[in-house]
């Protein structure tokens, strides 16, 4: 049972899919600490929930999220930011959640909103979405991984240009640059597309999906040789799973596999 939240909504639009909708419309889903605490709580619960196989995070048609909450940060001092490790709580999404997360981005995804979208394992958007890292206009820089993830995703020169000018870019552009895995025409198509792919992922062996996420993420931190060796070890280990036997036996017998998730 998930508790009722104030700044997010949770639903199960398809079997196995946990949908988190950011719901702070008056502030265009600005990512305040209370909102992020709820998001982390919901993610942890969905990650632990046996019925859930994949998670989708979305916002509204107008805004995925217009950034970290500027009003909350305005008077923050270095000393408080440092001692409370401000923004560190945003990392649990990318470091602790083991089930796949898809972001479905419509409207504004600015600053921390763009960073949140990029923390997801797969990013989908609509063509008219507005991405950007406008922190430079506020006298600061991205603080939730934007300089690292955007650079890895679209290359140094483009990321440098965007972060130093604060220029926005469209969903269409995000697709052309490879930041988004798919670009949809409308917001509804984007959300339906994300939920559909999440449902597909949730229909597979949880074990294999978890391993797949783990090995792809390793590529972000390791060189090619260590990465390939890591992948091979994890691949070997899956021969110890029931689902590898179930999957390959079903293929050989021309049947549909019924996963044990073991």
Catalytic residue ranges: 68, 112, 115, 135
Cβ-closest position to ligand HXC: 111
DSSP structure class, residue 68: B
CA 43, 46, 52, 56 torsion-angle sign = negative
Judge contact between 142 and 115, C-beta under 8 A. Answer: yes
Give the CB-side neighbour count of residue 93, counting CA atoms within 13 A: 26
The residue (of 121 and 135) whose beta carbon lies closer to ligand HXC is: 135
Which residues lie near ligand HXC (CB under 6 A)?
Answer: 27-28, 30, 66-71, 87, 108, 110-112, 115, 134-135, 138, 142-144
The residue (of 100 and 146) whose beta carbon lies closer to ligand HXC is: 146
The residue (of 12 and 23) whose beta carbon lies closer to ligand HXC is: 23
Distance CA 118, CA 205 (A): 25
Q: Look up residue 162 and give its two tokens.
A: 């965007």
Please state the closest distance from residue 68 (CB atom) to ligand HXC, in A: 4
The residue (of 17 and 187) whose beta carbon lies closer to ligand HXC is: 187
Distance CA 203, CA 126 (A): 25
* DSSP-assigned beta bridge partners for residue 86: none
Summary count for the chain: helices (H), strands (E): 12, 10
Please state the closest distance from residue 177 (CB atom) to ligand HXC, in A: 20
The residue (of 25 and 155) whose beta carbon lies closer to ligand HXC is: 25
Please state the closest distance from residue 233 (CB atom) to ligand HXC, in A: 35
Please state the closest distance from residue 251 (CB atom) to ligand HXC, in A: 45
Shortest CA distance to 131 belongs to which of 156, 152, 103, 99? 103
Distance CA 115, CA 120 (A): 9
Residues in the chain, overall count = 262
Please state the closest distance from residue 70 (CB atom) to ligand HXC, in A: 4
């Amino acid at each position: 049972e998930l508790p009722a939240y104030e700044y997010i909504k949770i639903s199960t639009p398809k079997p196995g899919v946990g949908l988190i909708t950011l719901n702070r419309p008056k502030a265009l889903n600005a990512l305040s600490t209370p909102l992020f605490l709820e998001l982390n709580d919901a993610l942890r619960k969905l990650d632990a929930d046996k019925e859930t196989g994949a998670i989708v995070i979305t916002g509204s048609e107008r805004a995925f999220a217009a950034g970290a909450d500027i009003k909350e940060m305005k008077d923050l001092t270095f000393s408080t930011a440092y001692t409370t490790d401000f923004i560190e709580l945003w990392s649990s999404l990318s470091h602790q959640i083991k089930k796949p997360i898809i972001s479905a981005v419509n409207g504004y995804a600015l600053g921390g909103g763009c960073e949140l979208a990029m923390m997801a394992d797969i990013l989908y958007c609509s063509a008219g979405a507005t991405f950007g890292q406008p922190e430079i206009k506020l006298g600061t820089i991205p603080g939730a991984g934007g300089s690292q993830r955007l650079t890895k995703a679209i290359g140094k020169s483009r990321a440098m240009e965007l972060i130093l000018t604060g220029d926005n870019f469209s969903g269409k552009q995000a697709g052309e640059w490879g930041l988004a895995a798919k670009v949809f025409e409308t917001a509804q198509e984007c959300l339906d597309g994300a939920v559909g792919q999440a449902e597909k992922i949730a229909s597979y062996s949880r074990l294999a999906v978890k391993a797949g996420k783990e090995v792809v993420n390793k590529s972000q931190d390791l060189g090619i040789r260590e990465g390939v060796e890591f992948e091979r070890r994890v691949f070997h280990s899956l021969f110890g799973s029931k689902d590898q036997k179930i999957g390959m036996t079903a293929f050989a017998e021309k049947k549909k596999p019924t996963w044990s998730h073991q």
